Chain A
Amino acid sequence: MKSHKMLFGLQLAFTLAVCAFLIVPVVLSILAGLTSNYFVGLESGLTLRWVFEVWDGYRDTIFRSIGIALACLLVTLVLGVPTAYVLTRSGSRLSRVVEELLMLPIAVPGLATALALISAYGGMGGFRTSWTFILVGHVLFTLPFMVRSVLAVLASIDLKTLEEGAASLGASFRQRFFDIVLPNCRNGILAGSLMVVTLSIGEFNLTWLLHTPLTKTLPVGLADAYASLRLEIGSAYTLIFLLMIVPLLLAMQAFARPRPRRFISDDPVPESK
Chain B
Amino acid sequence: MIYLLLPAAAFFGAFFILPMCRLFLVGGSGARGWSAYTAILTDPIYFNSLLATLGVAAATTVATLIISAIAGVFLQRHRFPGNALLVSMLTLPLAFPGVVIGFMVIMLAGRQGLVGTITQALGGDKWVFAYSLGGLFMGYVYFSVPRTILTVMSATEKLDPRLEEAARSLGASTWRVVLDVILPGLKPAFISAGAICFATAVGAFGTAFTLAARINVLPMVIYTEFTLSANIAMAAALSFVLGAVTWLVLALARTAAGSTVAAAG
Q: Is B235's CB within 8 Å of the partner chain A? A: yes
Which residue of chain A lies nearest to B199 when distances are taken between CB atoms in the complex?
A107
Stretch with Cβ within 8 A of A (4 or more), from B32-40, B43-51, B121-129, B201-209: B201-209
List 9 contacting pairs A-B, 8 Å CB cutoff, sorted by A. A12-B74, A14-B71, A25-B104, A83-B4, A89-B1, A107-B246, A111-B239, A119-B232, A222-B99
Chain B residues with CB under 8 A of A15: 70-71, 74-75, 86, 90
Which residue of chain A lies nearest to B138 when distances are taken between CB atoms in the complex?
A21
How many chain B residues sit at the interface, stated as a range, is: 35 or more
Q: Is A144's CB within 8 Å of the partner chain B? A: yes
Closest 9 CB pairs of A and B: A109-B203, A116-B19, A112-B239, A120-B19, A82-B4, A108-B243, A202-B97, A25-B104, A116-B23
Q: Is A124's CB within 8 Å of the partner chain B? A: no
Q: For the complex, would chain B's binding face be called helix, strand, loop or mixed by DSSP majority?
A: helix
Instruction: Give CA–CA (A32, B265) in the complex, Å.
Output: 27
Q: Mark A3-32, 1 if CB is under 8 A from B, else 0.
A: 110011001101110110111111011001
Chain B residues with CB under 8 A of A90: 1-2
Chain B residues with CB under 8 A of A205: 98, 203-206
Q: Is A231's CB within 8 Å of the partner chain B? A: yes
Q: Is B132's CB within 8 Å of the partner chain A? A: no
Scoring B96, B210, B250 by chain A CB atoms within 10 A of each residue's CB, the highest score goes to B96
Instruction: Give CA–CA (A29, B246) in the complex, Å.
Output: 32
Q: Is A106's CB within 8 Å of the partner chain B? A: yes
- Given A39-B112, A245-B95, check contact A104 B16 (CB 8 Å): yes
Instruction: Give CA–CA (A250, B89) in the complex, Å.
Output: 10
How many chain A residues sit at the interface, stated as a range, is: 35 or more
Is A111 a contact of B203 with CB atoms below 8 Å?
A: yes
Is B89 a contact of A22 with CB atoms below 8 Å?
A: yes
Which residue of chain A lies nearest to B15 when distances are taken between CB atoms in the complex?
A136
- Given A25-B107, A111-B222, check contact A18 B67 (CB 8 Å): yes
Is B112 a contact of A231 with CB atoms below 8 Å?
A: yes
Chain A residues with CB under 8 A of B98: 204-205
Stretch with Cβ within 8 A of B (4 or more), from A50-58, A95-103, A183-191: A95-103
Is B95 a contact of A253 with CB atoms below 8 Å?
A: no
Q: A25-B107, A204-B97, A234-B103 are in contact. List 9 more A-B contacts (CB 8 A).
A: A8-B78, A11-B74, A101-B12, A107-B243, A107-B247, A115-B232, A120-B19, A144-B263, A222-B103
Is A199 a contact of B4 with CB atoms below 8 Å?
A: no
Q: For the complex, would chain A's binding face be called helix, strand, loop or mixed by DSSP majority?
A: helix
Q: Which residues of B contact A (CB under 8 A)?
A: 1-2, 4-5, 7-8, 11-12, 15-20, 22-23, 26, 67, 70-71, 74-75, 78, 86, 88-100, 102-108, 112, 114, 142, 145-146, 150, 174, 199, 202-206, 209-210, 212, 219, 222-223, 226, 232, 235-236, 239-240, 242-243, 246-247, 250-251, 260, 263-265
- Given A23-B89, A111-B223, A249-B92, check contact A223 B210 (CB 8 Å): yes
- Given A107-B246, A108-B203, A226-B210, check contact A22 B15 (CB 8 Å): no
Which residue of chain B lies nearest to A194 when distances are taken between CB atoms in the complex?
B95
Is B97 a contact of A140 with CB atoms below 8 Å?
A: no
Chain A residues with CB under 8 A of B240: 112
Q: Is A117's CB within 8 Å of the partner chain B? A: yes
Is A145 a contact of B263 with CB atoms below 8 Å?
A: yes
Instruction: Give CA–CA (A177, B181) in the complex, Å.
Output: 45
